[in-house]
Amino acid sequence: MDRTDVLDRVKALSLLPDGMHVTTAMVATYFKVTVKTLESVVEDHREELRASGYHVLTGTQLALFKRASGIQSRSRSLALYPRRAVLNVAMLLRDSEVARQVRVYLLDMEYLARTQPVENTVPTDTATLNARIDQRITHILGKTVVPMFNALIETSSDHRRELIALRTGVQHIERRLRQHHSRLQRLEGPREDRPRAGIMAAMDAMNGREFEEHVASLLRRDGCTNVLVRGGGRDRGIDITALTSDGRALVVQCKRFAPHLNITSPEIQKFLGAKVLHTSDIALFVATCPFTRDARNIAAESGITVVHRGLLEEWSAGAPLTVLH
């Protein structure tokens, strides 16, 4: 229930100006159901949703909330859902494809947490370290700082305006950090038009040898012949050799890293050295994670084709790899 970030990975969730809540109509729009359907779910599971933060504002509380958030409404009551309650709704809705996708993504994440091998590599890439810091800061801002400001605003009269202004600034920072983190993690998230979390979940659960065999099977599917998985400690930096359908020599390096890591320039340079020792027309570097900008630049200059996490997902789902044809 704490993995509310899943909501935005499946579909963008618009929030009220307070940056914390959504209304019944907004939740219904997100899940593509009618307001009546959502109200029926609330009626059947009201206590459970209340435990997740669902509440209804009336009277003075409603007036204060409208004033603070700038909402224009003549209604005498307003039902509010924090992100946790929206995630709770996703577990209760039966006839919503969006809710089903949220549940599937949660199951995939749980599967990964239980089966993914522990990586011993300590990330040194600056972007990776910054992403982790961004996540921690965003979590603290959303879970601690903003609620603290909300409580102060409710009880303070002398400094109410200043507190609201400060809260707005904190929420702006929180949104910017979320946007920054989303850009860094875009490759590992499912797309709304074609969510494939299951494909990558299965691949992330493989060991190194299984991943090499998976890449070899993709090469055979795309018409390659003489596909040989070399692997092991004597592979001299080349995991797979093959011939394309038109006879060109192919060498492949495979790296099964955790999604939050990156392939850095030293990895590409090492592969480049191995490529020099093997006469080849095409060199592929296939990885279950993104590549840093420096790594991509060196690869492009050296004639190495990088197959990053997003491209690997498409290739595994059936799309042909252009360089092989």
Q: How many CA atoms lie within 13 A of 205 on its CB side?
A: 14
At residue 170, the pLDDT reads 79
Same domain, 25 and 40: yes
In the sheet where 77-82 sits, what is the strand order? 21-23, 77-82, 55-58
Same domain, 268 and 300: yes
Q: What percent of the chain has pLDDT over 70?
A: 74
Same domain, 233 and 316: yes
CA-based torsion, 310, 313, 314, 319: positive or negative: positive
Q: What confidence tens digit (pLDDT) does each residue in 214-230 have?
A: 999 999 999 999 999 98
The residue length of the chain stands at 325
* Confidence band of 206 (pLDDT split at 50, 70, 90): confident
Q: What range defines the domain where residue 274 resides?
A: 207-324
**Looking at residue 235, which CATH number applies to its domain?**
3.40.1350.10
Q: What confidence tens digit (pLDDT) does each residue in 96-127 have?
A: 898 888 888 777 666 555 555 544 444 445 55
**Residues with Cβ < 8 Å from 76, sequence gap 6 or more?**
58, 62
Q: Which token pair is 264?
A: 């850095």
d(CA 6, CA 103): 9
Strand partners, 304: 283
Q: What confidence tens digit (pLDDT) does each residue in 15-43 have?
A: 887 778 889 999 999 999 999 999 999 99
Same domain, 213 and 313: yes
d(CA 262, CA 289): 6
In this structure, is residue 200 part of a structural domain? no
pTM, two decimal places: 0.42
